[in-house]
Chain A
Amino acid sequence: MSHKEDLALMAHLMRRAGFGASHDDLERCVAQGYEATVEELVNPTEAQPGGDMATMLRYHPSFLLPGGTPFSGQANWMYQMVSTKRPLVEKVALFWHHVFATGNSKVDNCDQLLEQIQMFRDYGMGNYKQLLIELSKNPAMIFWLDNNENHRDAVNENWGRELLELFSMGVSNYTEVDVREASRAFTGWTISAKPPRQPYGRFSWKFDYREEDHDDGEKSFLGEVGNFGGEDIIDIVCSQPATARFICRHLYNFFVADEVQVPAWTIEPARDEDALEQMMDVFIESEYDMKAVLKFMFNSDFFKNARYSKIKSPAEVVAGTLRLVGEFQFPEPGILNIGKEPTYMGQSILDPPSVEGWYTGSEWINSGSLLARVNFVADRVANTDLPGVKKILDRMKSDGVKTPEQLIDAATEHMGFLQLSDETRQQLIDNAQTDGDLDWANEAAAGQRIGETMALIGATTEYQFG
């Protein structure tokens, strides 16, 4: 592989396993090798801290416990996506937020939602079985799916059903009786008395197991009989091949290539059945170790060959662009608004539309959201005051970028080694041709031209893919 091809592949990995990387970072990663980079992503060291919470909270103390003000909560998470040195941890948290979709529209408590996201950071790359147990005890989830209303003498099936339907096996792999029995096993898994809300703040919720409210009777679940509790149900769920298939298909859909929407999974075959089966094998053999399956996936050929086969989610557009231009590496003023940007593009983080999460792929695109994406990217990459953009200009200058053709190709590389169709590339070159060669004698004008060129590249259909 040529060096350029190595860089392009690395850009793909960093986009999928994170939120993109600068040209310098890509050079560094290529120097250490592809597999070593996967290793670094999956097992970050002390030298790769997460988002700098201490600084953020020093300037924005309200972001710690945003309570009833979701914008602060969204800004908190967006800042971490933008500034983290362990991008895969944040990306995996976003993955689980898509799958275990929990929304502020009902929870109305951003403190608890951020706690849930932290739990995804802590457990999201560990063992999936352990993660499901943590999820079952997660206060935001318990309230979101009414398990606090699930009593020994009055079973509420909301959590029991979604655990099977949306969080593990997928529909048509269990019966209504199984839903009922699973729900019985989770009776008594509740949150300690929820004090009334204050006008602005929220009291924190805690998991509480109430033995006296737990139905300890015999249950018959997926062909097994016993006095099951919640952990037993999770054990049985995890031993089902349907679970491995469902979770791996989610991983494929999120990290590799856009699948059809989840409700169609029982009808439509997988996009790449062979890849899915390989992932399932690794997942099952490793006893549901997320790291094992992630590592396998990122190192596989089917991943490496899946470039630009996903529409970027709004969170990816926003975090990826901000990382590219080097904005908000520090919690500067204006940070409150960056949490709202994905909302303008149709993805209100911490507030998915329902427990089914977001419809992804082409569903991200409508006329309003596309306009918001194009304008957001254009305003950033054309701003030559931003540190990341400055770096790109310096690099282009020292590389001697001059002709329209060189300009388009260099800008395309700096924006993540984008693969433009021949037609688009030619249209961009033709457009650049009308202004002739770059004139570095007038550096400000050259910078502005490069910025506007990158804005146009950000406006292509190709750039909507990640």
Chain B
Amino acid sequence: MTSTKKDPVIVVLQLTGGNDYFNTVIPYDNPLYYDNRPYVKYDRDDIIKLEDTKDWEQPLGFMPQMGPIKELYDQGKVAVIHGVGYKDSPRSHFRSMDIWHTCEPDKVGTEGWAGRVARELDPNKENVLTAINFGHGLPRALAVPGVPVAAIADLSTYGLLTGISNQDQRSKALDLFSRMYSPTVGGSFVTDYLRSTGTDAMVGADIVKVAPERYSSTVEYPNSPIATHLRDIAQVYFADLGTRIFYTQHASFDTHAGEMAGHPMLWNDVSQAISAFFEDLKEHDASDNVVMYLFSEFGRRVHDNGSGTDHGAAGVSFVIGDQVKGGHYGEYPSAKNEDLEQGDLVPNYDFRSDYAMLVEDWFGLDSKPIVNGSFEKLPILK
């Protein structure tokens, strides 16, 4: 009997630069928010209150631009995970992002967690599109030696020798490329490897180009880089090419200065893009087997610096989708002065627990070798 159940798919949206948790999911009744944020705060009236938290000791609200996410939240499709991070945050973007990508807080890791998942999902490397990054290059999360991962900066122009504008010349060029890279007898190991990799790259580019051709939708995505990436993701996903891991990012949440101008814009772009994406999934009756995971490498300092906020520690992550049991998980770290470390909210929940939940409960894989250890999972997925 063949299963009609579709393979689970994940979309990772990385909020690069360190999103200001305290200013994203806001304890709007807590005087400490207003005390610590003389300049960098949202007006109480503008904060989108989460009604289901109104009787809590510390009711919570989304920052004003998260309206579209609040709609998904009201449908029970958004899990908010509080206080995420790891011990002794280095407060460095690059080191911190590395730790998130490789699950190695104590040494420099070389394998990315999502790349390891791709290796498990496709051990025989049958599909060159099992994992795709949308953006330039590869984030370390996807980098594992020997695991083919595609990187698509722009789906509409993705491919080999795309600079050749004359279509006849280009198809001639591609035809030549495929002949030059076809396997031969008696080549050296390195040349053989080059040829098979070149063929993989071309096959991947060739397969993926059907995606925009097959796509049709009434959903209009806004005009922002993240919306374009999510639309590209939707196109590839609908084209049914077997991609299981979609990775993309939006930047830069590094709001040291001018946060009250930048932060609303960033979340406006992200919220609108996510909303369009899920609407598109719904229109194509394809939302059952997709979860989206949002994270940032750290939160920001509790007290503002007059214009923005500096690097902090604990942050917030979100899991969004039909298969998500919406609501709040974990505990909002205390913002009391005596509970802060170096002025920062202290993480009380290890980020690898998020990954373990996704790897085991979503993909059905053993998480230990992927996240480097055993971590308590939260019952976020149905």
Residues of A in contact with B (beta carbons under 8 Å apart): 68, 70, 103-106, 108, 197, 199-200, 258, 311, 340, 343-344, 346, 351, 353-355, 359, 361-363, 365-368, 370-372, 374-375, 378-379, 382, 423-424, 427-428, 431, 434, 452, 455-456, 459-461, 464
A456 to B161, CA, bound (A): 8
- Can you give 15 A-B contacts (C-beta < 8 A)? A68-B92, A108-B95, A199-B256, A311-B190, A340-B137, A353-B110, A362-B190, A378-B164, A379-B163, A382-B164, A427-B179, A452-B173, A456-B176, A461-B181, A461-B198
B: interface residue count bin: 35 or more
Query: In the complex, what's the smallest C-beta–C-beta distance from B275 to chain A, in angstroms?
Result: 30
- If the complex has contacts A427-B180, A428-B176, are A367 and B128 also in contact, measured as CB distance less than 8 A? yes
Q: Is the CB of A378 within 8 A of B163?
A: yes
Is B177 in the interface zone, CB < 8 Å from A? Answer: yes
A200-B256, A361-B190, A456-B176 given; A367·B204 CB < 8 A: yes
Point out the residue from B136, B177, B197 that lies within 8 Å of A344, measured CB to CB: B136
Which stretch of B30-38, B142-150, B277-285, B360-368 is in the interface?
A: B142-150
- Cα(A460)–Cα(B191), bound, Å: 11
Is B194 within 8 A of A365, CB to CB? yes
Partner of A199 from B110, B136, B310 at Cβ < 8 Å: B310
Contact A455 B161 (CB under 8 A): yes
**Contact, CB under 8 Å: A366 / B190:** no
Min CB–CB distance B36 → chain A (angstroms)? 18
Residue of A whose beta carbon sits closest to that of B175: A431
Chain A hits for B257, CB < 8 A: 199
In the complex, B336 has a CB within 8 A of chain A? no
Q: Are B194 and A464 in contact (CB under 8 A)?
A: yes
Instruction: Answer yes or no: B72 CB below 8 A from chain A CBs.
Output: no
Q: Do B94 and A351 touch (CB < 8 A)?
A: yes
**B residues with CB within 8 A of A:** 90-95, 98, 108-110, 128, 136-138, 140, 145-146, 148-151, 160-164, 169, 172-173, 176-177, 179-181, 184, 189-191, 193-195, 197-198, 200-201, 204-205, 256-257, 305, 310-311
Asked if B94 contacts A455 (CB within 8 A), the reply is: no
Cα A108 to Cα B297 in complex, Å, equals: 15
Cβ contact of A370, chosen from B173, B190, B197, cutoff 8 A: B197
Q: Which residues of A contact B98 (CB under 8 A)?
A: 105
Please name all residues of chain A whose beta carbon is closer than 8 Å to the beta carbon of B305 when the two chains form the complex.
Answer: 199
> Which residue of chain B is the closest to A458 with respect to CB atoms?
B161
List residues of chain B with CB within 8 A of the CB of A464: 194
Q: Which of B110, B138, B164, B193 contacts A455 (CB 8 A)?
A: B164
Given contacts A456-B176, A460-B180, A461-B180, are A354 and B160 in contact (CB under 8 A)? no
Assess whether B198 is in contact with A456, with CB atoms less than 8 Å apart.
Answer: no
- The interface residues of chain A lying within 8 Å CB-to-CB of B95 are 105-106, 108
Would you call B194 and A362 a contact (CB within 8 A)?
Answer: yes
Query: In the assembly, what is the distance between CA of A359 and CA of B145, in Å?
Result: 9
Chain A residue at minimal CB-CB distance from B193: A362
A354-B110, A456-B176 are known; give 16 further A-B pairs, CB within 8 A. Answer: A340-B137, A344-B136, A365-B193, A367-B149, A371-B151, A371-B160, A374-B161, A378-B161, A423-B184, A424-B180, A427-B176, A431-B172, A452-B169, A459-B173, A461-B180, A464-B194
> Are B310 and A106 interface neighbours, CB within 8 A?
no
Give the complex CA separation of A68 and B150 in angstroms.
Answer: 28
Q: Specify the main secondary structure of chain A where it touches its partner.
A: helix
Taking a contact as CB atoms closer than 8 A, the residue among A355, A372, A461 that contacts B108 in the complex is A355
Closest chain B CB from A363 CB (angstroms) = 7
> In whole angstroms, what is the CA distance A353 to B110 when docked?
6
Q: What residues on A are CB-neighbors of B91 within 8 Å? A: 197
B97's closest neighbor in chain A, by CB? A105
Say yes or no: A366-B163 contact (C-beta < 8 A), given A452-B173, A461-B180.
Answer: no
Q: Quote the shortest CB–CB distance from B17 to chain A (angstroms).
A: 11
Q: How far is the CA of A273 from the CA of B257 in the complex (A)?
A: 58
Shortest C-beta distance, A228 to chain B (Å), equals 28
Cα(A427)–Cα(B305), bound, Å: 64
Contact flag A68-B164 (CB < 8 Å), given A105-B108, A199-B256, A371-B205: no
Does B176 contact A370, Cβ atoms closer than 8 Å? no
B177: which of A103, A354, A423, A459 is its contact (CB, 8 Å)?
A: A459
CA distance A371 to B203 in the complex (A): 11
Q: Which residues on B sit within 8 Å (CB–CB) of A355?
A: 108
User: Distance (Å) between the CB of A140 and the closest chain B CB?
Assistant: 14
CA distance A452 to B201 in the complex (A): 20
B360: min CB distance to chain A, Å:
27
CB distance from A44 to the nearest CB of B (A): 33
User: How many angstroms between the C-alpha atoms of A258 and B148 in the bound complex?
Assistant: 23
Chain A residue contacts of B180, Cβ below 8 A: 424, 427, 459-461
Assembly CA distance A68 to B311 (angstroms): 12
Provide the residues of chain B in CB contact with A106, threshold 8 Å.
92, 95, 108
- Given A68-B93, A375-B163, A455-B173, the answer on whether A368 and B151 have CB atoms closer than 8 Å is yes
Query: How many angstroms from the CA of A36 to the CA of B94 in the assembled complex?
Result: 45
Q: In the assembled complex, which residues on chain A have CB atoms less than 8 Å from the CB atom of B163?
A: 375, 378-379, 382, 455
Q: Enumerate chain A residues within 8 angstroms of B136, measured Cβ to Cβ.
A: 340, 344
Nearest Cβ in chain A — how far from B98, in angstroms?
Answer: 5
User: Which residue, of B108, B184, B204, B311, has the highest number of chain A Cβ atoms within 10 A?
Assistant: B108
| Interfacial chain B residues near A427, Cβ < 8 Å | 176, 179-180
| 9 residue pairs, one from A and one from B, having the closest CB atoms | A367-B201, A108-B92, A199-B256, A344-B137, A379-B163, A461-B194, A368-B151, A367-B200, A354-B108
Residues in A whose Cβ lies below 8 Å from that of B161: 374-375, 378, 455-456, 459
A379 to B153, CA, bound (A): 15
Flag if A366 contacts B181 (CB, 8 Å).
no
**Shortest Cβ gap from A110 to chain B (Å):** 10
Query: Could you say which residues of chain A place their CB within 8 Å of the CB of B198?
Result: 370, 374, 461
CB distance from A220 to the nearest CB of B (A): 29
* Inter-chain contacts of A370 with B (CB < 8 A): 194, 197-198, 201
Complex CA–CA separation, A108 to B150 (angstroms): 28
Contact B176 A366 (CB under 8 A): no
A128 to B266, CA, bound (A): 50
Query: Is A371 touching B201 in the complex (CB atoms < 8 A)?
Result: yes
Beta-carbon nearest neighbor of B157 in chain A = A375
Docked complex Cα distance between A103 and B102 (Å): 15
Who on chain A is nearest to B94 by CB? A105
* Minimal beta-carbon separation of B291 from chain A (angstroms): 25
Contacts of A368 in B (CB 8 A): 137-138, 148-151, 201
Residues of A within 8 A of B184 (CB): 423
| Chain B residues positioned under 8 Å from A359 (CB to CB) | 145
Q: Which residues of A contact B146 (CB under 8 A)?
A: 366
Residues of A within 8 A of B92 (CB): 68, 106, 108, 197
Inter-chain CA distance A365–B190, complex, in Å, is: 10
Report how far A48 CA is from B99 CA in the complex, Å: 43
A452 to B166, CA, bound (A): 11
Q: Of the candidates B160, B172, B191, B311, which one forms a contact with A375 in the assembled complex, judged by CB atoms under 8 Å apart?
A: B160
Q: Please report the C-alpha to C-alpha distance between residue A426 and residue B305 in the assembled complex, in whole angstroms.
A: 66
Chain A contacts of B164 at CB under 8 A? 378, 382, 452, 455
